Amino acid sequence: MSAARASTTLVIGGARSGKSAFAENLLKKSGLERIYVATCAVLDKEMEERIARHRDQRGGDWKTIEETRDIAGVLQREARQGSAVLVDCLTLWLSNLMFEEDDIEVETTKLLAALRKVGGPVVLVSNEVGAGIVPENALARRFRDAQGRLNRQIAEVANQVVLVAAGLPLLLKPNHNQPEIRL
């Protein structure tokens, strides 16, 4: 089994579901050097305060890398034996790409290729945005659709997918206890 298949976890959930805390705890339990890849661009005072609060909650024993677009490059440099990488989050990364009018398909292809080659554990956090109502404007619908596609593509290469709801994790992949689904 390849390193990426043995070590890539996607953690998805709604806003404030506890997905980031769950992902951070996974890395804390690993005993490895912890690397936090923050994809959030600081756009205002509230976001600056939120980032500071999250940094304080994690503690000082994390290496933090702020990267709003080139996650694939960070993974190529940092995901190696002896370290565990947490990317938080793919939703903001996708927003950044859309805002900068980057080619989402090209960047996603780079990310998927990097995930297939990582040398150490990687945990990616993402929002599940498709479970609500249909957005009323075209940009929001485009974002929702792109986020759904991205989550599916990451889930396909990940060896584990965990849905967090109300702070409770539910293992979606692999799920050996689930009976085969048939007609």
Tell me: is residue 70 an annotated ligand-binding position.
Answer: no
Helices (H), the chain: 3-7, 19-30, 45-58, 71-78, 90-99, 104-117, 138-157
Reported as a pLDDT band with limits 50, 70 and 90, residue 42 is confident
Catalytic residue (choose from 5, 28, 54, 144): 54
DSSP secondary structure letters along 1-20: --HHHHHEEEEEESTTSSHH
Tell me: is residue 30 an annotated ligand-binding position.
Answer: no
Mean pLDDT taken over the chain: 91
Q: How many domains does the chain have?
A: 1
178, part of any domain: no
- Is 54 annotated as catalytic? yes
182, part of any domain: no
Q: Please give the residue range of the domain that contains residue 123.
A: 3-173
- Give the range among 28-42, 43-57, 131-145 with minimum mean pLDDT: 43-57
85, part of any domain: yes
* Sheet (strand 8-13) strand order: 62-66, 33-38, 83-88, 122-127, 8-13, 160-165, 168-173
Three-class SS state of 36: strand
Top pLDDT among 183 and 46 is at: 46
Which CATH number goes with the domain that contains 77?
3.40.50.300
Tell me: is residue 57 an annotated ligand-binding position.
Answer: yes
Enter the pTM of the model: 0.90
